[in-house]
Amino acid sequence: MTYLEKLIKNKSSIIFSFLIIFFGCSTLQTLNVSDRQQTFNAPYIQVFKAALNYCSEESFAVLLADKELGIINTDYKEAAVTEIYFGKSRAKINFTIKKIDSTETDVILIVSAEEQGDYGNWSQMTLTEGQAKDYYQKIFEGIESKL
């Protein structure tokens, strides 16, 4: 690589980094816990089952469901619908479900979303903070609808 090519590449990297910082882009994992957590007014077992039903309805294959530990982990689900516009993408969800008392239950989510590159490699998707919050809210609404 020539000196000029290196200089252009470095300037492009700096400009790209600045744009990411300026526009507040994030990944689905970088949100504060408060944005990835919701308290449901329902008993623990009811919320746990609602989360499992959400996974089933949305076609997320469950790899681990431990009622005693309050953990549900899904496998990646590819999103073919977005392929036409954004390329191939996939997501998986990890649920942590905690009993607060007999009528309230906390759910904390970690969503991992990836997009496939030109050479078939997968990398973490970058979204605006608003897009990431909307994605989590959609999942919480899906769980709520199953209660």
Prediction pTM value: 0.76
CA 98, CA 107: separation in Å to the nearest integer? 6
Q: Is the pLDDT confidence value at 62 over 90?
A: yes
pLDDT in tens, 108-129: 999 888 888 888 898 888 878 8
What is the predicted pLDDT for the residue at 18? Answer: 37
What is the predicted pLDDT for the residue at 31? Answer: 80
pLDDT in tens, 73-103: 999 998 755 554 556 888 899 999 999 999 9
Q: Domain map of the chain by residue range?
A: 26-145
Q: Is the pLDDT confidence value at 44 over 80?
A: yes
Q: How far apart, in Å, are the Cα atoms of 142 and each of 7, 19, 40, 58, 74? A: 48, 33, 12, 9, 15
Does domain 26-145 correspond to CATH entry 3.30.420.40? Answer: no
How confident is residue 9, by pLDDT bands cut at 50, 70 and 90?
very low
Q: How far apart, in Å, are the Cα atoms of 66 and each of 23, 62, 72, 119, 131? A: 39, 11, 6, 36, 30
How confident is residue 41, by pLDDT bands cut at 50, 70 and 90?
very high
pLDDT in tens, 13-38: 444 343 333 333 445 557 889 999 99
Q: Is the pLDDT confidence value at 5 over 50?
A: no
